[in-house]
Chains A and B, each alone.
Chain A
Amino acid sequence: MSDRRLGEMSPLTKIVVYGLLIGWSLIVLFPLYWVLITSVKLPGQVGDGPDYLPFIDFTPSLHAWRYIFVDLGSDTFRPYLNSVIIAGASTVLAMAVGACAAYALARLHFRPRLLSIGLFLVCLGLGVWMIGSGLVGWPIAAASGVAIFVISVLALSRVRSPRLGNSDILFWVISQRILPPVVAALPIYIMFQQIGILDTHLAIILTYTTVNMPIVVWLMYDFFAAIPIDIEESAELDGASRFRIFREMVLPLAKPGLAATSLLVLILSWNEYLLALFLSTARAQTIPLLVAAQNATRGPQWWYMSVLIVIMIVPVVLLTILLQRLIAKGLLLGAVKG
């Protein structure tokens, strides 16, 4: 689809436009090219100055590839598998939870009372204080906190209080993204340690789901809001339940948006470093950790690092190509409306 406004560009403009675009493509591709050829360079070749063209400036060698795949073998495979499992599972979960929440916010009306929220915060603080002062174990503290909350809400259910609306809830969910991981990392570590799931896939999957879900809500909210409501209304009149409407009518229409958002969330999970570092020790290590760890006391092992970066990018690129068409349509319809 062309923008007819500049449909007839003068040849000069065409050259400038293409020139700039190709120029930027070079800026994008050159670092990746450099990474690729570094992965086939010997340490000596890296150490004595830049060599640009394989076979012409230097003889490429597969030693780094061999080291990563053969020598390290399972030490490379395990983090790779971990990354695949964690990124995949957390993306699916984040999409599921986020899409449901986004749909609810787009179609239904919530009006939580400020009072209830206040009560909730008080009970939460109470629970934390109980745990912190060491009086009771965390299960008891959690249970009593919940109990106090439920009782006080029921008791004060007649009390009038200002109410918040959908947009406030939406903003609250999205604002979770502002939270720097470093603030929450240690408490989450301790929480997981108490439950005993540290250094497992589950721990990191849950954390990533929480961290990425706000983005899903943000993007999918606009997608869902853009779908004409009459389709759903007529289905409702026919007696279909919310769940059925959501599952059978809305989701298929939002496929492009789902594809685009999934890809973004997958990329974020695949590449995440800080939280994975905090929460994993041995079993649940992911590939970004392996990349960072190549910075040994002997200096950054550029060649090994380059191999790892390449094998990290390739699957994502393939996935993007596969989903390209869907995504193009999706972005066209969706977040744009926002």
Chain B
Amino acid sequence: MRFIARTALTALAATTLGLGSQAQAQDKPHDGVTVNLMTFTGPQIAEPLQRRGKEFGEATGATINVITVPFSDLYQKVLTDWLTGTDSLDAAVFAPQWSVDYVVPGLLEDLSDRVAADDALQADDIAEFFREFSQKVDGSTYMITVDGDFHMVYYRTDVAEELGLEGPTTWDDYLAFAEAANGMDMNGDGEADYGSCIAKKRNAQSYWMITSIASAWLQSQGTSQGAFFDTADMTPLTDNAGFAAALEVYKRTGDYAPSDEINLDVGDTRNLFTQGRCALTLDWGDIGTLAIDPENSQVIDKVGAVVLPGSTEVLDRESGELVACDDTTCPHHVNGVNHAPFAAFGGWSGGVSAAADDAVKDAAYAFFSYVSQPEQSNADVTVGATGFNPYRTSQFDSLDSWIEGGMSERAAENYLGAIQDSLNSPNMVLDLRIPQNQRYQQIVLDTAIARYLAGELDTEQTMAAITEGWQEITEELGRQEQLTAYTSTIGAD
């Protein structure tokens, strides 16, 4: 009797378990799969990935293991891991700017088919710039955008009002604003504050700033004209009247800035700005959401954002001279001003290793899709701590989630308006995306600019240093290969 009961119970248990696991298998398509994902140390970017990773894991049975390293080491760590065949990483969230270096040796998985079959991702909702330029290399999709990155100028609306000024439309406006505001006490602590705070620290994230300024002169005919090299022969666009003008502007902003600006990175300038010590700053979208943080911000509802200031003169590449901005020279001008919003860095995106197991690839892709889907993404982009900035058109549609996040209606309109102006601009500048672009930007450009700001080089010498340095790298790596890569990346061929 007891024996029968025991057997029956065991059988019952087994069946239930069996049924249960079957149900589990159906609910948890990635059960038992572990995805090792690398990104840089947060809380920006890493925190939402970890949080969404847990949710995703609970829903699908996968384990998302987020590994973080300092930002400056991310590029080489992932590349070394995949190039040497170590393959301890299955996926990474990094810069689409680097994707060429990963795609050419065949390290990244082609995601085009998966994206095409994925309705939940709502790929059409992703702004065209990110969908077509950022995610794709040579027409195939390799990365999934989770964050939209481009530079804007932020200013103190209260200070502007006091001075009778508006958000700057040209860089001359910017300088004038900074000069007027410099020395005022902008946060009520009795100390003089600064007109402009721009992160200029070497070996940090500063080398994008100069391009943000220079593009206004260098690119006027649309994204496919490019802002770094001449599309005919790969000559750097760093030795001309436009770049010189940009350098001078960049240096002059330092006249109205903290004396140690040359040692400030974005973290420091963001702090300064949210503590109310700067009238103007140039930064990614984070300031918008950081400024409304009730715990740490002293400038809640006092911040306005504008599209990157432009220029009334643009470079004529044939003659090397500056010409006035009109319908021919700058077809995309706005009231005679050429704006070239710069998608600096490109926006954190997820890529999957081509060497991973199929099950892991599926899980990794599904995770990235999950993070990028409107339901998750639209909530995350309203929170400054996530580091995610808007990149989907649906994120601009309604102000509700932003107001829920803490922005006033006016601030939300202003902030989103500036982002939308940037996103919708046909003259957006794509970040440099050729093989080993790190050497061009992080080594040559960063060093030359740092020396320029430190007073070691003058404008002429700086331009010469950058140009020579870039030409040397191009020669080393093969001019024709670099040119092909460059033109295909900006769609100029």
A contact set with B: CB distance below 8 Å: 42-44, 47-48, 189-190, 193, 198-199, 277, 281-282, 289, 292-300
Contact = CB atoms under 8 A, between A and B. Distances in A.
Contacts of B36: 282
B81 A293 contact: no
B296 A44 contact: yes
Contacts of B233: none
Given A198-B86, A281-B38, A298 B267 contact: yes
Interface string B279-322: 00000001000100001100000000000000000000000000
B421 interface: no
B205 A297 contact: yes
Given A281-B67, A296-B44, A193 B84 contact: yes
Contacts of B265: 299
Given A198-B86, A199-B88, A281-B89, A297 B266 contact: yes
Contact of A296 (B42, B67, B88): B42
Contacts of A294: 41
Given A44-B295, A298-B44, A299-B268, A293 B69 contact: yes
Interface stretch (B70-78, B206-214, B470-478): B70-78
Given A44-B295, A282-B65, A298-B43, A293 B70 contact: yes
Contacts of A47: 271, 274-275, 296
B387 A198 contact: no
B202 interface: no
B41 A299 contact: no
Contact of B266 (A43, A293, A299): A299
B455 interface: no
Contacts of B85: 193
B296 A297 contact: no
B68 interface: yes
B84 A190 contact: yes
Interface in B175-200: 189
A192 to B, nearest CB: 9
Nearest to B72: A295
B424 interface: no
Contacts of A295: 41, 70, 267
Nearest to A192: B86
B70 A297 contact: no
Per CB-CB distance, the 9 closest pairs between chain A and chain B, nearest first, are: A299-B267, A293-B41, A282-B67, A193-B86, A293-B70, A297-B44, A193-B84, A47-B271, A281-B88
Given A44-B295, A47-B296, A293 B68 contact: yes
Contacts of B205: 297
Contacts of A296: 40-44, 71, 267
Nearest to A294: B41
B433 interface: no
12 contacts: A43-B296, A47-B275, A190-B84, A199-B88, A277-B73, A281-B67, A282-B88, A293-B41, A293-B68, A293-B69, A298-B290, A299-B267
Given A295-B41, A298-B44, 6 more contacts: A47-B274, A48-B189, A282-B36, A295-B267, A296-B40, A297-B267
B70 A292 contact: yes
B294 to A, nearest CB: 11
B22 interface: no
Interface in B85-126: 85-86, 88-89
A292 B71 CA distance: 10
For the residues of A in contact with B, the DSSP-based class is mixed
B30 interface: no
Contacts of A44: 295-296
Contacts of A289: 69
Given A43-B296, A281-B81, A294-B41, A48 B69 contact: no
From A277, A281, A294, residue with most partner B Cβ within 10 Å: A281
Interface string B198-234: 0000000100000000000000000000000000000
B333 interface: no
Contacts of A190: 84
Nearest to B78: A281
Given A296-B267, A299-B271, A189 B296 contact: no
Interface in B21-67: 36, 38, 40-44, 65, 67
A297 B65 CA distance: 21
Contacts of A292: 70
A157 B73 CA distance: 50
A67 to B, nearest CB: 9
A298 B81 contact: no
Contacts of B266: 297, 299
B453 to A, nearest CB: 20
A299 B189 CA distance: 23
A199 B387 CA distance: 29
Nearest to B84: A193
B270 interface: yes
B275 A298 contact: no
Nearest to A48: B275
A137 B91 CA distance: 29
A289 B41 CA distance: 10
Contacts of A281: 38, 67, 69, 77, 81, 88-89
A277 B69 CA distance: 9
A282 B290 CA distance: 30
Interface string B239-281: 0000000000000000000000000011110110011000000
Contact of A299 (B42, B81, B270): B270
Contacts of A299: 265-268, 270-271
B394 interface: no
Contacts of B40: 296-297
A299 B270 CA distance: 8
B461 interface: no
Contacts of B16: none
A299 B43 CA distance: 11
B140 interface: no
Contacts of B67: 281-282
B80 interface: yes
A48 B272 CA distance: 9
A189 B43 CA distance: 29
A295 B85 CA distance: 29
Contacts of B286: 297-298
A85 B380 CA distance: 38
A47 to B, nearest CB: 5
A271 B334 CA distance: 56
Nearest to A43: B296
Contacts of B290: 298
A44 B298 CA distance: 10
A199 B77 CA distance: 12
Contacts of B42: 296
A193 B44 CA distance: 31
A189 B36 CA distance: 20
Contacts of A293: 41, 68-70
